[in-house]
Amino acid sequence: MKSAVRFLPAVCLAGLILAVPAHAFSELQEVQMEEPEEQPDRESVPGVERGPNLPDLEVPLPDPLRPATPGAKVAEETPRVLYDVMLLPEPVRRMRESIMAACKAGDIEALRALLSTGPNATQLSLSAVVGDPIEHLKSLSGDDEGHEILAILYEVLAAGFVHLDIGTDDEIYAWPYFVALPIGDLTPPQRVELFKLVTAGDYEEMKAYGTYIFFRTGISPDGEWEFFIGGE
């Protein structure tokens, strides 16, 4: 089942880091004592060698790691923005190239063979698509041939991307990376990149919503085209 999180500004979950206090041996005061003729065996401290003139040191063990409290929120981390397509798995890279080739050729019908079907069909709308998926894509375009939507799809895939939900069933490579960043915190260079896809007016509207709401697309690690949707 596809995760609805993919279609919202996604954030990668960072793991909780539990710090354990360290005890420096320099903090232990040297104790001088006469070694008894017979001394009971003690467990040695790993990594510490005892000499004949050194006393046994009992180093306190750290507190046991405690599991995270059930239901506790995990700190959110902004995912890394990627541009190098060679970082993509080969199936993802191949699907991206095939989609972009169809777009560049102006052949919307060529996308049909790239769309997943059945229960895991490529999602083309936030609501159910009734009828032919290619005709639906044409309906999103400002022209009858679907060339405008092909241009949008091409530019989306030409943008930087993010790798989301790593290690889960919902792992995805998503374009453009704006889907995973706070839209109001974009840097000047990032806003220039955004304006390749939307207008300044669109950007102001997105800031009011608090999220990127234009077209985005995603490909699973095994090369399945998962979705291509707009804000609707």
Query: Which percentage of the chain shows pLDDT scores above 90?
Result: 62
CA dist 109 and 57 (Å) reads 76
pLDDT in tens, 150-175: 999 999 999 999 999 999 999 999 99
pLDDT in tens, 55-109: 443 434 333 333 333 333 334 578 999 999 999 999 999 999 999 999 999 999 9
pLDDT at position 36, please? 45
pLDDT at position 116, please? 95
pLDDT in tens, 29-51: 443 444 445 544 444 444 444 44
CA dist 41 and 50 (Å) reads 13
Residue 167's nearest CA partner among 16, 61, 42, 13 is: 13
Q: How many CA atoms lie within 13 A of 125 on its CB side?
A: 14
Whether the CB-CB separation of 108 and 150 falls below 8 Å is answered with yes
pLDDT at position 78, please? 83
pLDDT in tens, 99-145: 999 999 999 999 999 999 998 999 999 888 989 999 999 999 999 99
**pLDDT tier at 231, thresholds 50, 70, 90:** confident
CA dist 109 and 138 (Å) reads 10
pLDDT at position 232, please? 61
Q: For the purposes of burial, counting CB atoms within 10 Å of the CB of 155, is it exposed (0-12), middle (13-18) or buried (19 or more)?
A: middle
For 191, phi then psi, to 5°, come to -65, -35
pLDDT at position 130, please? 87
pLDDT at position 44, please? 44
- Compute the C-alpha angle 144/177/106, nearest 5°: 25
**Using CA of residue 209, residue 212, residue 216, residue 219, what is the dihedral sign?**
negative
pLDDT at position 76, please? 56
pLDDT at position 77, please? 76
Omega prior to 176 cis, within 30 of 0: yes
Structure tokens at 12: 């990668």
CA dist 130 and 50 (Å) reads 78
pLDDT in tens, 54-68: 444 343 433 333 333
Q: Which residues contact 207 (CB under 8 A, 6 or more apart)?
A: 183, 184
Whether residue 13 has pLDDT greater than 50: no
Residue 94's nearest CA partner among 157, 2, 137 is: 157
For 124, phi then psi, to 5°, come to -115, 5
Distances (CA, A) of 76 to 11, 16, 85, 211, 219: 7, 10, 25, 16, 23
Under DSSP, the state recorded for 70 is: T
CA dist 162 and 84 (Å) reads 11
pTM score, whole prediction: 0.67
Distances (CA, A) of 69 to 6, 21, 74: 26, 20, 10
